């Protein structure tokens, strides 16, 4: 079975907003064995909406409409889908009553425009909205003499997610042939996309039954493996088999086989080893600290950090000798080491990280171009340094540098 997702709302046709619900729905549908073959984005005009509904119904088995179920004049999804399917709308007393109660509980009276949220297509199953007012609808109908499954879901992401998970997944599963889909997500640090692909392509090409998707970001490659099989065990065996071979090839560059972020892995490892960390960062400007503390409970292992933009603060907060900066420059191997060792001593942590570099766009020179970054990690046995020249703009260079530093911590803890 295949599906089309129709996202409704004029704001989704502006330069400022984008449909994101469809990513969530696609993941869920894929898990059920349903492929998404089209996505359409349409505004709040009745004629456009009806035309989009007809087009979708003519080419997909399952059509999911998102949005346009609210109480305003612009909310026309019910009317347009009813017209496209040739069905009537009737006002549902049970829904009206629920709406009245919901409003009364908050001290409001149900206004007339809200009544239309109780309009239901003939034969539709009403889907409860646990997080908002507009209920959804599930219609098993016909279009051009073929069976179609049509879902009307609300647009706000938290309403949509709750309704799909609670009200739709089991109903869909009952309608669909049993599917066994196994998945695995590997993540790889600090290797380039073409290098990774050239090394693993000979491997994954031998697994034609496993779909391999490669996504590349700054300092990170994600490998999504997916397989359908006669049983979940058989499918999982194929995915795990391929994942193991890829891990053997890429070695410890693979930091996660479960889709975790690098900061999450560093968090696990620090807690497992019972160790603490402090950081002194210059060009990353707080990004490394921000990533480390984005994980709840980070205070168990992250003591803190210094964002030492000025030379004076490098001395004041991380104890870097002023003459070292004078002699080698703020962006140097020596200052990176001094930052890492200084913050480790100052914070009394097991590990200390120092980062200094040139994120650009200005500040580069021939000897020290934009993108040059020194990363140092101080530990009990000494201090390691990695020098890199990262490509890209300020944002990308900063992310690369934070990723490199996290990867050094990870490797030290392994």
Q: Which of residues 365-404 bind its own copies (CB under 8 A)?
A: 394-395, 398
3-class DSSP assignment, residue 275: coil
Residue 338 touches its own copies, criterion: CB under 8 A:
no
Q: In whole angstroms, how close is the CB of 296 to its own copies at the nearest point?
A: 5
In this structure, what token pair is assigned to residue 73? 């004049």
Q: Which stretch binds its own copies (CB under 8 A): 61-69, 297-305, 371-379, 381-389?
A: 297-305
262-273 and 394-413 helices cross at what angle (nearest 10)?
A: 30
In this structure, what token pair is assigned to residue 41? 């984005």
Nearest CB to its own copies, comparing residues 306 and 378: 306
Residue 274 touches its own copies, criterion: CB under 8 A:
no
Binding test (CB under 8 A) with its own copies, winner from 142, 198, 294, 365: 294
Q: In whole angstroms, how close is the CB of 122 to its own copies at the nearest point?
A: 27
Nearest CB to its own copies, comparing residues 52 and 254: 52
Binding mask of the shown chain, residues 65 to 104, with x at each position contacting its own copies by CB under 8 A: ----------------------------------------
Question: By CB neighbour count within 10 A (0-12 exposed, 13-18 middle, 19+ buried), where does 341 fall?
Answer: buried
Q: In whole angstroms, how close is the CB of 36 to its own copies at the nearest point?
A: 5
CA dist list (Å): 324 to 320, 371, 386:
7, 22, 19
Nearest CB to its own copies, comparing residues 240 and 290: 290
311-318 and 333-347 helices cross at what angle (nearest 10)?
A: 40
Q: In whole angstroms, how close is the CB of 39 to its own copies at the nearest point?
A: 4
In this structure, what token pair is assigned to residue 55? 């087009």
Binding mask of the shown chain, residues 207 to 226, with x at each position contacting its own copies by CB under 8 A: ------x-x------x-x--
- Write out the binding residues for its own copies, residues 221-250 only, by CB under 8 A: 222, 224
Residue 306 touches its own copies, criterion: CB under 8 A:
yes
Total chain residues near its own copies (CB under 8 A): 73
Residue 303 touches its own copies, criterion: CB under 8 A:
yes
Cβ-contact 57, 150 below 8 angstroms: yes
Cβ-contact 182, 232 below 8 angstroms: yes
Cβ-contact 292, 263 below 8 angstroms: yes
Nearest CB to its own copies, comparing residues 21 and 117: 21
Nearest CB to its own copies, comparing residues 8 and 250: 8
186 has which bridge partners? 223
CA dist list (Å): 331 to 228, 235, 316, 413:
51, 51, 17, 26
DSSP secondary structure letter of residue 284: T
Query: Which residue in the block uniquely carries the two structure tokens 């035309």?
Result: 51
Query: Which residue in the block uniquely carries the two structure tokens 């191997």?
Result: 333
Residue 257 touches its own copies, criterion: CB under 8 A:
no
CA angle 213/29/126 to nearest 5° reads: 160
Nearest CB to its own copies, comparing residues 92 and 290: 290
DSSP 72-100: STT--HHHHHHHHHT--EEE-HHHHHHHH
Q: In whole angstroms, how close is the CB of 245 to its own copies at the nearest point?
A: 22
- Write out the binding residues for its own copies, residues 21-60 only, by CB under 8 A: 23-24, 26-27, 30, 35-43, 45, 48, 51-52, 55, 59
Q: In whole angstroms, how close is the CB of 44 to its own copies at the nearest point?
A: 11
Q: In whole angstroms, how close is the CB of 235 to its own copies at the nearest point?
A: 18
């Amino acid at each position: 079975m295949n599906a089309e997702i129709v996202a409704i709302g004029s704001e989704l046709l502006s330069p400022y907003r984008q449909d994101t619900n469809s990513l969530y729905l696609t993941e869920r549908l894929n898990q059920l064995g349903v492929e998404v073959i089209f996505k359409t984005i349409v505004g709040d005009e009745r004629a456009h909406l009806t035309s989009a509904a007809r087009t979708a119904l003519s080419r997909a088995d399952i059509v999911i409409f998102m949005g346009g179920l609210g109480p305003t004049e612009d909310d026309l999804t019910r009317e347009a889908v009813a017209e496209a399917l040739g069905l009537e709308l009737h006002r549902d007393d049970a829904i009206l009553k629920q709406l009245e109660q919901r409003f009364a509980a908050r001290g409001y009276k149900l206004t007339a425009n809200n009544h239309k949220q109780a309009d239901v297509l003939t034969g539709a199953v009403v889907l409860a909205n646990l997080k908002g007012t507009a209920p959804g609808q599930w219609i098993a109908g016909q279009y051009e003499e073929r069976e179609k499954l049509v879902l009307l879901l609300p647009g706000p992401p938290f309403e949509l997610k709750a309704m799909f998970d609670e009200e739709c997944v089991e109903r869909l599963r009952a309608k669909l042939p049993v599917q066994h889909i196994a998945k695995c997500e590997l993540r790889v640090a600090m290797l380039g996309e073409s290098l990774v692909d050239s090394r693993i392509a000979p491997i994954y090409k031998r697994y034609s039954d496993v779909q391999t998707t490669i996504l590349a970001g700054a300092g990170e490659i994600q490998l999504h493996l997916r397989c359908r099989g006669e049983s979940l065990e058989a499918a999982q065996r194929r995915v795990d088999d391929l994942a193991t071979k890829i891990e053997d090839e890429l070695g410890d560059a693979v930091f996660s086989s479960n889709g975790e972020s690098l900061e999450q892995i560093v968090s696990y490892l620090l807690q497992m080893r019972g160790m603490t960390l402090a950081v002194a960062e210059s060009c990353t400007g707080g990004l490394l600290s921000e990533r480390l503390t984005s994980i709840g409970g980070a205070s168990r292992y992250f003591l803190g950090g210094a964002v030492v933009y000025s030379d004076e603060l490098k001395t004041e907060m991380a104890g870097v000798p002023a003459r070292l900066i004078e002699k080698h420059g703020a962006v140097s191997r020596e200052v990176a080491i001094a930052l890492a060792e200084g913050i480790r001593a100052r914070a009394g942590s097991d590990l200390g990280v120092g980062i200094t570099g040139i994120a650009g766009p200005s500040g580069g020179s021939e000897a020290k171009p934009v993108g040059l970054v020194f990363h140092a990690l101080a530990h009990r046995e000494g201090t390691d340094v990695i020098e890199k020249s990262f490509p890209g703009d300020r944002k990308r260079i900063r992310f690369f540098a934070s990723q490199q530093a996290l990867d050094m911590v990870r490797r030290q803890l392994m």
